[in-house]
Amino acid sequence: MITAIALVLILGLLVFVHELGHFLAAKLIGVEVKTFAFGFPPRLWSKKVGETTYAINALPLGGYVSLRGEDDFDTSDKESLNPRSLLSKKPWQLLFIFVSGVVMNVILAIVLLYIAFMVGFQPIYSGMWNHAGVSNNLSVAITDVEKDTPAEKDGILAGDIIKQVDGQNVYLNNEVLTLVRAKNTADGAQVKLQILRGDALLDKTLVTYKAKVAGSGGKETEVSRVGVVLETRGNVKGNIFSSLGAAASETVHILKLTFVGIFDLFRQLLLKFTLSDNVTGPVGIFVATNYFASLGIVYLVQFAALLSISLAVFNVLPIPGLDGGHVAIIAAEALARRKFSGKAKNAIQLIGFGLLILLMVTITIKDFINFDIIGYVRGVFK
């Protein structure tokens, strides 16, 4: 229940901010906004102020704006002469309106990460501490040593701090797990640890063994282990100025990674007719929300920032049905030096939207299989 509420709040915030960008840009350019709604129908409340109807709907999964001229099929009628219509605006004005939602999602990500840096947090991925003016007192502590494991046999104790794994500095428990689990070739792989015990640095060499651990949806996965339970301690924190620079820098970093991921998605889809293992949809987002919700509010804030950037990048793609699709049509009209008919643009948008729905259904089916959702449901009812 908590996961569902957290997911609704996060997605509602992301889409609402996105649509707010379109709303503000349209108002600034002088386009009539017919409706600005939070959530999707059925409608719970509405009030008309001036020319705009403000509404709150029952399904709190975002929002939408309705602009004058966006649904008109014929650009040759009087609507194209109306100064309050989209159809009468110049290409740069349309571009400003359509990209404003993407810009707002990027700004939201910066704000969320800024809050995280100001409050102090444990990052969900490595390297977020590599910024001027940002302090890092993170450490990876061993909280328990399992019996009859390589760690116990080599004298590892609860309370030891892992400083390095195979010569690499580590600050998060997932960094240690990643480095250990990378040794998935066979039992008996060696892992070199540098341990801080009190004031003394100790070097230990442990031998891995195979073990099955529960994954998403209860699905078991075989991984390499050494027999310790880990905990990340401390946090990363900035001041009022360094936090802003760090948040902006991390947003740019995530944007680059997201563009690379999207490129990989379509490269594999078009060349190999397969979906990348790194791609996930609503089911995967729900699973991830459940995980971060169990860790705490600051983890959810970071996750919301990642989703906001993902939404921005996906929407800017030149695919009909997305904001980037509108931008592509504007660019094509500018190159052709003529406007396409409303019917042609509507057909292009419908085809693009249909392909997006097909892609989403395919990704959802993949998620059901990867996360063993059917097995999870069966387990709940048992």
Last residue of a domain, one of 200, 233, 266: 233
Specify the residue for token string 């129908």.
Answer: 41
Q: Which amino acid is at 316?
A: V
| Contact criterion met (CB below 8 Å) for 307 and 112 | no
Written as tens digits, the pLDDT of the chain (382 aa) is 677 788 888 888 998 999 999 999 999 999 999 999 988 888 999 999 999 999 988 877 678 899 988 765 444 456 667 888 888 889 899 999 999 999 999 999 999 999 999 999 999 999 999 999 999 999 999 999 999 998 999 999 999 999 999 999 999 999 998 888 887 655 678 899 999 999 999 999 998 888 877 655 456 677 788 899 999 999 999 999 999 999 999 999 999 999 988 888 788 877 877 776 667 777 788 788 888 888 889 999 999 999 999 999 989 998 887 899 889 888 888 888 887 777 777 788 788 878 777 877 777 776 666 666 555 544 544 5
91 occurs within a structural domain: yes
The SS3 assignment for 77 reads coil
Last residue of a domain, one of 207, 233, 259: 233
The structure tokens listed for 209 are 């063994």
pTM (2 d.p.):
0.86
The count of domains in the chain is 2
103 occurs within a structural domain: yes
CATH number at residue 217: 2.30.42.10
Residues in the chain: 382
pLDDT at 267: 83
Exposure of 47 by Cβ count < 10 A (0-12 exposed, 13-18 middle, 19+ buried)? exposed
pLDDT at 73: 46
pLDDT at 370: 67
129 occurs within a structural domain: no
Exposure string over 53-81, b if 16+ CB within 10 A, otherwise e: bbbebeebebbbbebbbbebeebeeebbe
Q: How far apart are CA 129 and CA 235, in angstroms?
A: 9
308 occurs within a structural domain: yes
Q: Are residues 272 and 310 in the same domain?
A: yes
| Contact criterion met (CB below 8 Å) for 14 and 304 | yes
Q: Are residues 258 and 111 in the same domain?
A: yes
Q: How far apart are CA 110 and CA 128, in angstroms?
A: 13
| Contact criterion met (CB below 8 Å) for 323 and 316 | yes
53 occurs within a structural domain: no
Domain enclosing residue 223, as ranges: 139-233
Pick from 266, 327, 347: which is nearest to 102 by CA? Answer: 327
Pick from 121, 153, 126, 159: which is nearest to 140 by CA? Answer: 159
175 occurs within a structural domain: yes
pLDDT at 375: 54
Last residue of a domain, one of 233, 266, 298: 233
pLDDT at 99: 95
Contacts of 343 (CB under 8 A, 6+ apart): 73, 74
Q: Are residues 206 and 347 in the same domain?
A: no
The SS3 assignment for 208 reads coil
pLDDT at 371: 61
